[in-house]
Amino acid sequence: MRFLWLLCALLCQGQVSFPRPIAELRAEALAARPPLETGHFREPDLTDLATLGGGLRFDIRYATPNNFMGTPLYSEARAFLERPAAEALLRAAATLRAEGYGLLIFDAYRPWYVTRMFWDATPEKLHGFVANPQKGSKHNRGCAVDLSLYYLNSGEPVAMPSAYDEMTPRAHPAYPGGTADERARRDLLRKIMTAHGFTVDKGEWWHFDYRDWPRYPILNIPFAEIRRAAGGQ
């Protein structure tokens, strides 16, 4: 999400404080309802990426305290995408394997209530840094994924021109700095993801939106409910 690095920096410096306790914000967000949408949408078919193979690895930051809120936002460390997006992601992973890389997933589907929590926890003067819950996000539609690369031969994450969620000029997909190798890996990721139906976010090299995102509704389904519907434990 855009500018989370800056927001985190302000929080850590004590320049921003949450207006109310996180537990209170969570309760309100869970009780709220997403915006009503008009039009015809595809039936959601969220797929657990961990069940698909393809060498995908996971570092789900919002299931840990390692995020700008400083507390777990997800109930489980899982990543879901709408099935066509998930299948396209697997095709991208297969292409990258030939180059010696695997995909490292940071985030994918995000329940709407989490987007609401981001908004409510952020001071009004910083609302430009987070998604407006009245509009929702492509993550809420199960058609956005945050990811990077790892080396197949070692399992280690690659170095990119910036860290994940580091919202500085280094995060821009066309940032000219960093090393030649870092830029080459970033550009390879973009090239392969684009070839398989994704578009990179204009400010984040790691954020990719699947081309069919307008065809899916904003969702607010908890991870556990998705897993139960799929027959999981």
- Structure tokens, 117: 């929590």
> Which ranges constitute the DSSP H helices of the chain?
4-12, 22-31, 83-97, 112-121, 180-195, 223-229
Residues 208, 105: Cα–Cα separation, whole Å: 11
Beta strands in 56-181 (DSSP E): 57-58, 80-82, 101-107, 144-151
The residue type at 109: Y
Within a 10 A sphere around the Cβ of 35, how many other Cβ atoms?
11
**β-strand partners of 146:** 107, 207
Catalytic residue among 99, 156, 166, 204: 204
Residues contacting residue 72 through CB under 8 Å, at least 6 positions apart: 62, 63, 64, 65
Residues 95, 88: Cα–Cα separation, whole Å: 11
Residues 55, 23: Cα–Cα separation, whole Å: 36
- Phi/psi at 117 (5° precision): -65, -45
43 annotated active-site: no
Nearest of 83, 76, 113, 78 to residue 218 by alpha carbon: 113
* Residue positions annotated with a catalytic role: 204
